[in-house]
Amino acid sequence: MSDIEIKIRSAVGEAVKEAFGIEADESVLNVETPRDKKMGDYSTSAAMRLAKTLRRNPLQIAEEITSRLTGKLPEASSIEVARPGFINFRLTQSALSSCINHVIDADENYGKNETGKGRRILVEWVSANPTGDLHCGHARGAAWGDSICRLMEASGYDVLREFYVNDAGNQIVNLGKSLTARYFEYFGREFELPEDGYHAEDVKQIAVQIAQEDGDKWLDADPDERLAYFMQEGKTRELEKIKKDLDLYRVHFDSFMHETFFYENDRKRINDCLDRMNSLGLLYEKDGALWFKSTEFGDDKDRVLRKSDGTLSYLTPDIANHVYKVERGYSELIDLWGADHHSYVTRMKAALKALGYPDGTLEIDLIQMVRMVEDGVEVKMSKRTGNAITIRELCEDVGVDAARWFFVSKDVGTHMDFDLKIARTQDNNNPVYYAQYAYSRMNSILKNPEIPAFHKEESYDRLSDPKEMQILKAVSEFPDVVADAAASRKPNKLTDYIIALVKQYHSYYNSCRVNNPDDPELTNQRLGLVKATMITLKNALTLIGVSAPESM
């Protein structure tokens, strides 16, 4: 919430107390931006929210409140009542332009806020099996999750970024067997490649690396020892590649939590979790398997935790993992999962609820499918390798900035077509280019040697053009946008904000001369507006992992 919104809320609260003798809570004292700019800069529907409590006409309530706002809000040039009970505020020029020095002083910290102060949140995303390269489906979730974390960190949340490494189970066994087969192939020996093994080029490359490093020592080694070695080497090297690709993509993690961690010490953490569930009466045995009574907590059927052969279901270590997250001091957990995990959401939430954790402990955002499209035709495979397009290939093709922007600009809860042709375009049809070009325009003005260097002023009273007022209002609202995008976990709200701000700036640039040689005072104040806008735009781009180039 911006400073002016806080002031409006406070003033309205005082007026309500004076008029009706009651304390209005925050849900009543809402402040928002009217869709119709003619209505003013800000508006509150407090009168309508009080109508039921006061049993009066909201229009009359609004008149009573407005009559007591005189002198309480010098930042407002006008305060008007509109049907059916809105109170609309139009700000003075000085109130809007006062944000310029605030933005310049804050610089790279502008937009940061403390709306999430005191909240510890663990965000888990990507979490791909270390059995191959990350592809474009991972790219969407990677950019979204990283942007969520950036927004939360900017809003004062204590955030832990975690990648859960699924490195236990049959997929790792098949990786080890696949590498063994390719290793034997390198030396001209036969070894059956599993039918459900991994055939991608990256597996062949890892096998070649091992062969060149270790020689033929594994050809006649003990089969169990050899398989264990190739399993370990496979997942270690695949994970290193994943980390490098994420680094290229500007995504970083604080923690890599391995599934195998929960199998250590004879599965102690898993067994402790099962013992706890059993003590709560949540388990039963049937047909030699151990079942969780998940139907008692909203699931459509009970779930197996331990199969009749003694092996664990996928759910069991996942429950232990989420319990461990809470044990580490994170009372709020956020997971980003693929849309194919839809049915898994209920059972995981049921498990935590059954263990006594409050509702809301775990929130899960599902990432819908993305289609890569070029000239209206779906592109499924890499032209170079014939396999699924990887994050690295995408970044090399369209650039990291375009890749991140396009994936963040549309809500992950909706299906998406990623237009490769537009992403490569270096013109205003490409939204990230459009935004970056605005930034480089601002930078070229401020660094133009023919224009006197900007210096701060106490006031910017010469800024009076309506387009200047629009930009100032947008800039002043930036911290509120950041806080809202963080709280709602919607980074696309930031891309919407960026495009709106950039449109306003391009329009202003094309209609108003920033440099007026005959009026150095106006020039300097307009430079201040440009500088504040430039800082805001760069900070907004940074929060979604997109660069702000000084020249294009």
pLDDT higher than threshold 90 for residue 22: yes
Helix (H, G, I), strand (E, B) or coil at 172: helix
Task: State what percent of residues in the chain have pLDDT above 90.
Answer: 91
Q: From residue 524, how far is each of 101, 155, 452, 518 by CA, in Å?
A: 13, 32, 8, 12
Helix (H, G, I), strand (E, B) or coil at 200: coil
Token pair recorded at residue 362: 């775990």
pLDDT higher than threshold 80 for residue 383: no
Helix (H, G, I), strand (E, B) or coil at 179: helix
pLDDT at 401: 98
Q: In sequence order, what are the beta bridge partners of 303? A: 292
Q: CA torsion, points 487, 490, 491, 494, in degrees to nearest 10?
A: -80
pLDDT interval class at 386 (50, 70, 90): low
Q: From residue 321, how far is each of 166, 325, 350, 505, 542 by CA, in Å?
A: 11, 6, 15, 48, 31
Strand duo 289-292 + 303-306: pairing: antiparallel
Domain coordinates in residue numbering, the chain: 3-91, 97-115+427-542, 170-236
Residue of 295, 332, 288, 293 whose CA lies nearest to 310? 288
Residues 398-409, mean pLDDT to the nearest whole number: 98
Residues 150-176, mean pLDDT to the nearest whole number: 96
Q: Which class would CATH give 3-91?
A: alpha beta
Helix (H, G, I), strand (E, B) or coil at 338: strand
Contact predicate 126/134, CB 8 Å: yes
d(CA 452, CA 458): 18
Residues 101-108, mean pLDDT to the nearest whole number: 97
pLDDT interval class at 382 (50, 70, 90): low
Long-range contact set of residues 218-227: C-beta below 8 Å, sequence gap at least 24: 218/180, 218/183, 219/184, 219/187, 219/189, 226/180, 227/173, 227/176, 227/177, 227/180
Q: From residue 323, how far is each of 121, 165, 269, 318 by CA, in Å?
A: 14, 16, 9, 9
pLDDT higher than threshold 70 for residue 384: no
pLDDT at 165: 97
Residues 444-458, mean pLDDT to the nearest whole number: 96
Q: Which amino acid is at 300?
A: D
Residues whose CB is less than 8 angstroms from the CB of residue 235 and which lie 6 or more positions away in sequence, other chains included: 130, 131, 165, 167, 172, 175
Read off the pTM. Answer: 0.92
pLDDT higher than threshold 70 for residue 156: yes
Residue of 417, 410, 384 whose CA lies nearest to 495? 410
Contact predicate 520/514, CB 8 Å: no
Residue 255 CA neighbour count, 13 Å, CB half: 15
Domain 97-115+427-542: give its CATH code. Answer: 1.10.730.10
- Give the chain's mean pLDDT: 95
Local structure of residue 295 (DSSP, 8 states): G
